[in-house]
Chains A and B, each alone.
Chain A
């Protein structure tokens, strides 16, 4: 079992040339403007060489690539937040049969990323939920320590009590 693509691609900034959200909206706005103009002029054929259409097609290509890794990252995020693999598997299982193959690749990538823990730069993976749970886990450990401490102090108290009683008894015996 290995990752389908290079590890680099799975990071948030992994794929080069993904335009920012602002750029994406500009590209789509420009395309929409162009298409509105076409409709106004009642022209049915779209010019695929027009810069607005060309940019939209490029954007589509990039978004398609990005979507794959977005889903994998989200699966990783959910697995890291303590969700059972079976649950995640069921949650993301596609409704259309033709998407099953793609899903298999995504899911196995998500699992594999977790298995290769040390090699992954988790800060670049951008798993928001995972950071919350890391915080919670630390708290849980703290509370465990507190309980243990309580037990130890109790034991000390009991020791002191039994030993003092023992001394009293002994001194009574000695007196007798």
Chain B
């Protein structure tokens, strides 16, 4: 498939670009037939039925009319299936919204194909026929483009990888599924998705199993030690590991899976481009790839994406203005040029980034480890010691845990008093019965110790520079390092790349984001006729459980806000009220369009025309009648049209 680099926020698209994009998107969408999850019954439609492309795919040995009949049947079946999904009880509002767009786009695609077939003109045809054929095809193409772009826009808003032009569309990540299935408040049963991921991802299951087996093994080692042929063996059911995993809070389960995914992403060579504009793809920026991989879809990038969208919306005014200029016959491209702020130092950049953010929590703290991600955006050096030391701080808990495990092993080794620590390089796991020994995952204790030591060494090395950077962040200079030190740093970075699971901040945001939409459905509904209390709900919860209440109240508040702010459709009560209001507001803006308009001569202008129209209609009916009889006659004579005609209604 051809790959195009597309600017997601173009000021304008040339007709040629539009054409290329139209073909590109049609092809891409019709190739996409991925089912993201089997547990989610409705996904908002799978695949895309482009009638023109489907028609080309049909067996060439069939006659034209057979092919047409086949396509119409295929389209109708497809439409029925989509409608079934639309009215499916399991389909949530977001699924329905996408399905509506999908149905609309496919319907327009079908009409486009129909018109193309009907008005198939060539240079030998009379000019009147060519003109009307061209007009009709162009109209249907325009409609199809509009409907398809509405669908693409919906997908883009919800960060579907399908809309990232350079992204491979085979295979899907867990994070992508989480994002897609929880889009705009879509309710998602997390646990089921995690179960499904574990069932389908064998590598992940193996990893989690061995990790949790190790933990449970070490914590129970004192009581369950057994000996077999001079080796240490522990009785453990394989299930115990997964059970332990599922006992963890949902956030931790998520963290585990996302961490695994990220480690795998780091090994891959491609960079997801969904949030990056075309011009950022230069060699200079490629070295920041690491940040992208570690924080694939971090909240901050998503925020930036949304911020850009907002800017784009503000830009609409400008684009509209250009539209008016076109209307008045004045093409002013100058209006479209955006002014870039002048930024030279890092301080400027952060200041610019924080500009207009009223709340402190939205601002980028130059001392936060997270500013490194912004630095990616803001083009600052990758090998920043402040970031690394912060990451080390973040992973302090992990280091401590590994240390603790090793400590316990040392103790256990002492208790066993059989061999030297270095000689025990693995522990065998048995499944209940002693005879059936299976070789477990080998744990290299030495390597683990080395890793921790390396981290420790680097930490002490970097601590002084962090303090320095805190003071003079704006005048930061690269630190002088010897070649060996640099190599070590690179090695450590390599290690970090695989060990950083997910940032706490990212996890928090993600889990709050998901919890936000987990509005509990009432389980124990109290149907008693008692009167309701006059007080606020707040009081009750504070008495009952302070912590839980805080969260719930926050969620409710947040959700309300979201519904007002981000709701895809702002319907309040009557469907028309909001739309009417929007249009009347637009009308005020678009005075040019509404005030000055010319009637196109369609032959339907006045009462007089209406009478003429009636006369021509009468005449036309007669003509059609005679053409039909002519047609019938030819049909009888030639007996060529045996296959049913596709345009039967």
Contact = CB atoms under 8 A, between A and B. Distances in A.
**Are chains A and B native binding partners rather than an unrelated pairing?**
yes
Interface of A: 1, 4-6, 9, 15-17, 19-31, 33, 35, 39, 46, 51-65, 67-68, 70-71, 74, 77-86, 88-93, 95, 97, 100-102, 104-105, 107-108, 111, 114-115, 117, 128-129, 132-137, 139-140, 143, 146-147, 149-162
A51 B571 CA distance: 53
B582 A31 contact: no
A78 B631 CA distance: 39
21 contacts: A19-B624, A25-B118, A54-B623, A64-B602, A79-B583, A81-B104, A84-B586, A102-B600, A104-B593, A104-B598, A117-B576, A128-B104, A132-B100, A136-B100, A137-B575, A152-B532, A153-B522, A153-B525, A154-B540, A162-B533, A162-B535
Contact of B139 (A16, A71, A91, A162): A71
Contact of A140 (B132, B541, B571, B593): B571
Contacts of A78: 146, 150
Contact of B620 (A17, A147, A160): A17
Nearest to B587: A111
A104 B596 CA distance: 8
Contacts of B132: 59-60, 63-64
B283 interface: no
A100 B326 contact: yes
B590 interface: yes
B394 to A, nearest CB: 37
Nearest to B18: A95
Nearest to A144: B563
Given A51-B623, A155-B533, A156-B530, A150 B96 contact: no
Given A86-B316, A90-B319, A160-B528, 4 more contacts: A17-B618, A90-B320, A107-B593, A136-B96
Nearest to A20: B649
Interface of B: 15, 18, 86, 93, 96-97, 99-101, 103-104, 107, 114, 118-119, 124-126, 128-129, 131-132, 135-136, 139, 142-143, 145-146, 149-150, 316, 319-320, 323, 326-327, 329, 519-522, 525-526, 528, 530-533, 535, 537, 539-541, 543-544, 568-571, 575-576, 579-580, 582-584, 586-587, 590, 593-594, 596-600, 602-605, 610, 613-614, 616-621, 623-624, 626-628, 630-631, 634, 645, 647-649
A67 B143 CA distance: 11
A41 B383 CA distance: 80
A21 B540 contact: no
A35 B150 contact: no
Given A25-B645, A64-B132, A133-B575, A85 B582 contact: yes
B143 A63 contact: no
A56 B119 CA distance: 11
Contacts of B587: 1, 111
Question: Interface residues of A: mostly helix, strand, loop or mixed?
Answer: helix
Contacts of A114: 576, 579-580, 583
Contacts of B320: 86, 89-90
